[in-house]
Structure 1
Amino acid sequence: MSDSNKEKFNDLVYKIMSLLIDACPVHRSIGPADFGYPEGETDPESCYYIPAADEAFLYECIRWLKDEELIRGEHEYVATIYGLEMFNGLPECLKTN
């Protein structure tokens, strides 16, 4: 991962987790507009949706967070207890002494 890709990944993962922790326990949709990214377009010939580069990167970050079990969901997402712990978002009532 290049330094710029590493920085972009780090920044975007932090932003995604912040959105979900702030919304927890409510599931929340996440899309390019949440981060000021342009959306892709539907190809008129094939009718396939072609995501913009930043949008594609966003969805790869979401997939990675899901694979690592920091978040769960399909079209709307919520932070898991593991995700809350990793990002210091665990409510006091769930912390063990």
Structure 2
Amino acid sequence: MSDWLLIGFKEPATVGEIAYDHAANAQVCRPKGAGRMSTSNKEQFDLMIRRILGDLIAACPAAVAITAEAYELPKGEHVSDGNGIYASTYYRESPEEKLLTDTLKWLREEGFIRIDNSYGFVATMQALKLASAVPKVISG
């Protein structure tokens, strides 16, 4: 689905273009300037939540691997500090990777997603309720 976000929440995204994605068989919202995030932090966070939950709800109950690579986000860089035996290397996330990581952590801590055997993420019942996507056999 790349940079397309599923619409299905009570309040659709307000930033972007709404269209029908035949491959996903769903109405979607593509952010303005898709790929690069230049909106405010609140809007970026909102779009990332919609993208993650949209992907997980569409795939539920299967686990989905959500990574910066899968979302085609700009990569960070490996940075080296020091010289000789005191040298150390670490990975510095791009701002987009950091937003993804922080959003996944927040969604997990708030109970909207769970980790499935370290393979990927799955939407919880709380997320399904939010999107009005609870299977009828469960909801009655």
**Normalising by structure 2, what TM-score?**
0.61
User: Which structure's CA Rg is the greater one?
Assistant: 2
Q: Which runs of 5+ in 1 are unaligned?
A: none
Give 1:1-97 correspondences, 5 Å limit.
Answer: 4-45=40-81, 46-73=88-115, 74=118, 76-96=120-140
User: Per-residue deviation at 1:75?
Assistant: 5.1
Paired with 1:40 and 1:83, the residues of 2 have a C-alpha distance of 30
Residue 91 of structure 1 aligns with an amino acid whose one-letter code is: P
Equivalent residues, number = 94
After alignment, is 86-95 or 34-43 more displaced?
34-43
C-alpha offsets along residues 35-68 of structure 1, whole Å, 9 cap, x if unaligned?
3311212224522121111100111000110010
Normalised by the length of structure 1, the TM-score is 0.85
Is contact 2:48-2:100 (8 Å) kept? yes
CA distance in 2, matches of 1:65, 1:84: 13
**Secondary structure of the structure 2 residue equivalent to 1:49:** strand
Unaligned runs of 5+ in 2: 1-38, 82-87
RMSD of Structure 2 on Structure 1 (CA): 1.7
Using the aligned pairs only, state the percent identity: 32
Bigger share in strand: 2
Q: SS of 1:39's equivalent?
A: coil
